[in-house]
Amino acid sequence: MRYVDIPFPDCIAFGAQSDPLWCTEIATTRAGWEVAAECWTYNKHIFDVSFAIRTATEYGLVRTHFNQVRGRARTFPFKDYLDFTATAAEGIAEETADDSDSEGRYQMFKKYGTGDDAYFRKITRPVEATCIIYRTRSAVTTVVTGSAAIDDTTGTFFVAGDMEGDVYTWAGEFNVPCRYGADQLPAAITNKEPAADGELLVECGSISIVEVRE
């Protein structure tokens, strides 16, 4: 699915409902015991932006974006205002091992929780200008952002002068790669006469935005 760098309107994303989603199958025995099967390694996020659209102008912003990305056909960056940052304690980096220059190349993750059950969310769309890269070497932590090449299309970064035993963390903002959940964009005017400011009020049916794994 083609990714286009056309961000979803911020003023609408700010009021979106945000739903983290897992997929779990529950099997119940004849005795009433339950067994859970975790179907997904990573969760997905679903957003409903219809709550944030109140006026014809706001709907127009979404309609323009919807047509630019051709409905469900293309993915785009979406800012989840309930979860769009990582601190240095949450921003984990793990060395990749799937390419020829893997030495010194790291993948960004955000850590949720602690201990064995901590969840590591893969971050593929960091906002590069906001990211700080930290390196811990011999128990000394320094900022190495200047010598790190961040790829904002994969969430990986390459660090010059990387040495065995180095540990990297990061802090900054990230977007969520998303698509529309349907190829239609429902809305209707709810007032027959313009409001005092001349703005028409609208009501939208459910407008879902769905995370796309990368």
Q: What is the pLDDT of residues 114-168, one digit of tens each?
A: 999 999 999 999 998 999 999 999 999 999 999 899 999 999 999 888 888 899 9
The answer to whether residue 98 scores a pLDDT higher than 60 is no
> pTM for the whole thing?
0.90
Pair (118, 50) in one structural domain = no
Query: What is the tally of structural domains in the chain?
Result: 2
Q: What is the pLDDT of residues 17-35, one digit of tens each?
A: 999 999 999 999 999 999 9
Pair (90, 168) in one structural domain = yes
Residue 102 gets the label, from left (phi > 0), alpha (psi -120 to 50) or beta, of alpha
pLDDT of residue 22: 97
The answer to whether residue 91 scores a pLDDT higher than 60 is yes
The answer to whether residue 103 scores a pLDDT higher than 80 is no
Pair (75, 181) in one structural domain = yes
User: What range does the domain containing 67 cover?
Assistant: 2-79+177-211
Pair (38, 98) in one structural domain = no
Pair (95, 128) in one structural domain = yes
CA dist 103 and 172 (Å) reads 23
